[in-house]
Amino acid sequence: MVITQPQSRVARTGFQNMTVRAWIVTAMLVLFQIVAFADKAVLGLVAGDAMADLGISPVQFGFIGSAFFFLYAVVSIVTGFLASRYSVKWILLTMGVIWAVMQFPMLAGGGAAVLLVSRIVLGGAEGPATAMSLTSAHGWFRPQHRALPSNLVAAGSTLGPVVAAPALAAIIVAVGWRWAFGVLGVVGLVWVVAWLFLGADGPYAGTRKADAAPVAVEHDTPETAAEEAFDGRMVDVDNQLPVRTWAALLNLTVLAAVVGGFSNFWVQGFLTTWLPQYLNGVVGLSMKQVGVVTTFPWLIGAGVLLLLGLIGQTLMKRGHSVHLAISVPFGLAAIVAGAAFLSVPHAHGALAVALLSIAGGCSLAYPMTASALGYTVGAKQRPILMATLGGVASVGAIISPTLVGWLMGRAGYVAAPKGKPIPAEMVEHMATGIHQAFTVTGIVLLVGGVMAALFLRPGRTGRRLQRDHLRPEGARVI
């Protein structure tokens, strides 16, 4: 039996020939995510020195942490629409160049205003990172094989602080906090050069070139036919016709993904801006110890993502829905994280650190919501949904750093002068404010987890969109 499919689907033999290239690109995308999240984590590591050196208050520093996400949403959404028309390879390359360049102004001696502006621009350029990385990865794998590579790319976001925190903490101690930004700039430039030669769009990408002509795909074995028929509930997702964009964005599945993603971004903003300061000031760890301990949530997050990726891929290959394979595990992880955050203020010492590590680790699975949402529409509209999700959900990371700083200030905390230890009274005030923030964070995660587990149903939504909002074949819907 021979069927005609868009060029985004390739013959089985051709796919096997490109397997090595697919995993090379996936590895580069993992590194891309590591660099992105190292860029986010650096602000928290330099918090104490930067506040004292630049003469800014906790609320002002929290505002700078939030500023990273000011352009996040706008640039994410715009980039999503661009990626539906143009090569994701070059979009990723452009982002990488901006990331690297934006690190050097602080190395050159920039003040608080320069830090604010550079973080705003950097955040805008990093906004589409997860969506574009997942879009690129999905372009290299069949739908039933995407769960594991997607979660590997997602794990890169948790490995960023793991790899960077100890090294950057040592650099801060040895040569000063400004060099932490400089080193990240150099690393970013190295990645850009490597991607220029190794990066590419895959055979399942939704580029105009890939969709230009049909190709005959022969089902020459029962196994091939079974894979092509895999999970009819996805309606052969890569071959779905374009639907009305507003309909794809305004539904309960997207709302559940946004709420779940919002809860994860909330934690990202919290952890990357204030966790090192909390461990140093309240728990009493040295900067070198902080550099190690701050990796715990991210290590746990990487483990959670890899485990859930393996589980999801196994379930999907056995014919289970995306909801059961991706959405429900994400929701359960967020619920566990929420319960742990609620418990932290009532624990002390090592138990508090352990609970905080578990809470942070289980709440770093945001890319799973984007990956799940990618099964709602076809390849051309996938980056639109993923990037819009990231842009809207990132509001959580705008709110949380400033809220934590405000709660600390309301509790009476004032940053100590440069080179001076934090007075015991200020430690108490810091603890009071951050513990209140832990409670709020726990509630946010519980709501996000329940919403995702119950209502993030890409298969059902995709079928409805195809049934109710199909355009005539060949129509362009942007």
Q: How confident is the model at residue 470 (pLDDT cuts 50, 70, 90)?
A: low
Summarize the confidence of residues 178-185 as an average pLDDT.
90
The overall average pLDDT reported for the chain is 81
Q: Is the pLDDT of residue 318 over 50?
A: yes
Most confident of 103-107, 240-244, 283-287: 103-107
CA 38 from chain center: how many Å?
A: 12
Q: Is the pLDDT of residue 172 over 50?
A: yes
Q: How many C-beta atoms lie closer than 10 Å to residue 292's C-beta?
A: 15
pTM of the shown model: 0.71
Residue ranges of domains in the chain: 2-469
Q: How confident is the model at residue 418 (pLDDT cuts 50, 70, 90)?
A: low
Distance, in Å, from the CA atom of 228 to the CA atom of 425, rounded to the nearest integer, reads 65
The reported pLDDT for the residue numbered 469 is 60
Summarize the confidence of residues 95-121 as an average pLDDT.
90
Residue 180 CB partners (closer than 8 Å, separation 6+):
42, 45, 46, 168, 171, 172
Q: How confident is the model at residue 18 (pLDDT cuts 50, 70, 90)?
A: low
Write out the chain in H/E/C secondary structure. Answer: CEEEEECCCCCHHHHHHCHHHHHHHHHHHHHHHHHHHHHHHHHHHCHHHHHHHHCCCHHHHHHHHHHCCCCHHHHHHHHHHHHCCCCHHHHHHHHHHHHHHCCHHHHCCCCHHHHHHHHHHHHHHHCCHHHHHHHHHHCCCCHHHCHHHHHHHHHHHHHHHHHHHHHHHHHHHHHCCHHHHHHHHHHHHHHHHHHHHHCCCCCCCCCCCCCCCEEEEECCCHHHHHHHCCCHHHCCHHHCCCECHHHHHCCHHHHHHHHHHHHHHHHHHHHHHHHHHHHHHHHCCCHHHHHHHCHHHHHHHHHHHHHHHHHHHHHHHCCCCHHHHHHHHHHHHHHHHHHHHHHHHHCCHHHHHHHHHHHHHHCCCCHHHHHHHCCCCCCCCHHHHHHHHHHHHCHHHHHHHHHHHHHHHHCCCCCCCCCCCCCHHHHHHHHHHHHHHHHHHHHHHHHHHHHHHHHCCHHHHHHHHHHHHECCCCCCCC
Residue 217 dihedral angles phi and psi, to the nearest 5°: -120, 120
Q: How far is CA 257 from CA 285, 369, 384, 416, 455, in A?
A: 36, 6, 14, 41, 8
- Condensed to tens digits (0 to 9), the pLDDT of residues 324-380 reads 999 999 999 999 999 999 999 988 878 988 999 999 999 988 888 988 888 898 878
Residue of 79, 94, 72, 78 lying closest to 199 (CA atoms): 94
Which one has a higher pLDDT value, 135 or 358?
Answer: 358
Q: Which structure tokens are listed for 79?
A: 């980039």
Distance, in Å, from the CA atom of 349 to the CA atom of 443, rounded to the nearest integer, reads 23
On whether the CB atoms of residues 380 and 211 are closer than 8 A, the answer is yes
The reported pLDDT for the residue numbered 271 is 79
- Condensed to tens digits (0 to 9), the pLDDT of residues 39-63 reads 877 887 788 788 888 888 877 887 8
Distance, in Å, from the CA atom of 121 to the CA atom of 127, rounded to the nearest integer, reads 10
Neighbouring-strand partners of residue 214: 6
The reported pLDDT for the residue numbered 368 is 87
Residue 443 dihedral angles phi and psi, to the nearest 5°: -65, -45
The reported pLDDT for the residue numbered 419 is 63
Q: Is the pLDDT of residue 477 over 60?
A: no
Task: Return the CATH fold of 2-469.
Answer: Growth Hormone; Chain: A; (1.20.1250)
The reported pLDDT for the residue numbered 11 is 40
Q: Max alpha carbon distance in the chain (Å)?
A: 77
The reported pLDDT for the residue numbered 224 is 38
The reported pLDDT for the residue numbered 255 is 95
Q: Is the pLDDT of residue 121 over 80?
A: yes
- Condensed to tens digits (0 to 9), the pLDDT of residues 192-251 reads 999 999 988 888 776 544 333 333 333 334 433 333 333 434 446 666 778 888 888 899
Residue 271 CB partners (closer than 8 Å, separation 6+):
44, 294, 297, 360
Summarize the confidence of residues 306-334 as an average pLDDT.
90
Summarize the confidence of residues 114-129 as an average pLDDT.
88
The reported pLDDT for the residue numbered 435 is 92
